[in-house]
Amino acid sequence: KAKLDGKSTVFAYDPGEEVQITERNQQLREIATAISEDQFVLFYQPKVTLSTGHIFGFEALIRWQHPKRGLLSPDKFIDQLYDTELEVSLGQWVIRQALKQLAAWQQDGHNYQLSINLTAYHLSTADFFDWLKYQIQHYHGLDTSRFQIEILESNRLSDLSLISNVVEFCKSEFGITTALDDFGTGYSSLTHIRVLPVDVVKVDQTFVRRMLSEPEDCKIVEGVIALAQSFNIQVIAEGVESIAHGEVLLAMGCNQAQGYALAKPLPIDQLMKFLSSYQPFRQWCSQSGLLKNHKQAR
């Protein structure tokens, strides 16, 4: 059973703070129940190769189907979890769910990549790799090279060399790839791109979304792309909200994207419907003139 009060901390007495702590514990208890009662669900957001319009994979994003409050996005509950045991419990639920979905796709002959979000804290827990290995062994013949871990920074940024080892084990044993999420914001630092053997850098959506209207954001996006290239690391832009974003990114040398311009995160049945009617060259490239360029290039 998950512990609800997180790592123990000594608080100076403050009645207001005590109320907050009690509230948080209540929320954590509710989340623990939600995990055991299977109230969470994964949505999937497509990732596209800009130059071809081909959808090569998805990011799994968690939602809470709350019995009273309806469908909740992660910003309504995820921060509460950080640095508690529940963060690991929820991460484990996500991994199990994602592996199941990846196996189902592969059974149907699809070669999609599927990425999940895990915190650096979870990655650095002692039995992370063994636990993951055990889960993977449930699936015979699963192509785990199509599985990707997006590393989220938590403020408890743990031992980089430990995380670096985990990333390496995942790669050497299972071909699992890793991405640095939200690159350029918060606790994500230049040191990470230098020290961690990651495959992909995700340009944070706040920069990408504003890049067409704010020259400063545009410069940051350009800089991150150049940085990734110089480290021989793939780069993907999130928050691509218009065709124009995609065009500019492509011109800057970033060939992968996800964002509302292509699709929002979708529940699995809607995703499959979307995919069955998706026509790369009509829905993405042709509007932007990329189709023309694509044809000319061939």
> Under rule CB under 6 A, which residues in 12-31 are in contact with ligand C2E?
none
Q: Which residue is nearest to ligand C2E (CB)?
A: 259
> Under rule CB under 6 A, which residues in 136-175 are in contact with ligand C2E?
150, 152
CB of 242 to ligand C2E, least distance (A): 9
Nearest CB to ligand C2E, comparing residues 6 and 265 = 265
Residue 73 in the binding site for ligand C2E (CB under 6 A): yes
Residue 86 in the binding site for ligand C2E (CB under 6 A): no
Taking Cα atoms as reference points, which of 96, 99, 95 lies closest to residue 107? 99
Q: Indicate which single residue of 61, 151, 166, 198 sits in contact with ligand C2E (rule: CB under 6 A).
A: 61
Choose the stretch contacting ligand C2E; rule: CB under 6 A; options: 11-19, 69-77, 160-168, 218-226: 69-77
CB of 205 to Mg ion, least distance (A): 6
Choose the stretch contacting ligand C2E; rule: CB under 6 A; options: 14-22, 64-72, 227-235, 258-266: 258-266
Choose the stretch contacting ligand C2E; rule: CB under 6 A; options: 1-9, 132-140, 155-163, 236-244: 236-244
Q: Indicate which single residue of 32, 34, 78, 211 sits in contact with ligand C2E (rule: CB under 6 A).
A: 78
CB of 245 to ligand C2E, least distance (A): 8
Interatomic CA distance for residues 18 and 32, integer angstroms: 21
Q: Is the dihedral of CA 164, 192, 44, 255 positive or negative?
A: negative
CB 161 within 8 A of CB 155: no
- Phi-psi group of 53: left, alpha or beta (phi > 0 → left; psi -120 to 50 → alpha; rest → beta): left
Residue 124 in the binding site for ligand C2E (CB under 6 A): no
Taking Cα atoms as reference points, which of 233, 237, 265, 234 lies closest to residue 250? 237
Interatomic CA distance for residues 298 and 296, integer angstroms: 5
Nearest CB to Mg ion, comparing residues 115 and 288 = 115
For residue 163, the partner it binds in ligand C2E, Mg ion, none, with Cβ less than 5 to 8 A by kind, is none
Q: Which residues here bind ligand C2E, judged by CB under 6 A? A: 45, 61-62, 73-75, 78, 94, 117, 119, 150, 152, 181-182, 205, 209, 238-241, 258-260, 265
